[in-house]
Amino acid sequence: MVGFWYLYIIYAFVLTYLTIGFIVSFETTAAMSGGKFAVKWIKEHFSYNEFYYSVIVFYPMLLLAYFFLEYVPSLITHEIRCEFNLDALFEDLFNSK
């Protein structure tokens, strides 16, 4: 009986991590590409510290999203649309007035 609840909690934790990580990583990748809706969404839903810790927690998913959304298409089209630069993203999001 304990094994069932243990596996249930682990399963719920993993699915929650994947779902929230998917959303945060795709919005962050879209904001790095210059998406105005993504920048607006991040500014509405996160403070600087919340977004900073979300990026740290979901960093592996962020790298995966960047790989599939930016790097692989740039290999096909030979055009680099954006660089993976979180410092510039944070500066654009939270230091502009």
pLDDT digits (tens, 9 = 90+) for 18-61: 999 999 999 999 999 888 999 999 999 999 999 999 999 999 99
Quick one: average pLDDT of 62-83?
86
Q: What pLDDT, on the 0 to 100 scale, is given for residue 1? A: 67
Determine how many CB atoms are found less than 10 A away from the CB of residue 91. 11
Query: What is the structure's pLDDT at 56?
Result: 94
State both tokens at 50. 């919340």
Find the domain containing 17 and state its range. 2-94
Q: Given a cut of 60, is residue 97 above it in pLDDT?
A: no
Total number of domains in the chain: 1
Long-range contacts (CB closer than 8 Å, 24 or more residues apart) made by 66-71: 66/25, 66/29, 66/32, 69/26, 69/29, 69/33, 70/29, 70/32, 70/33
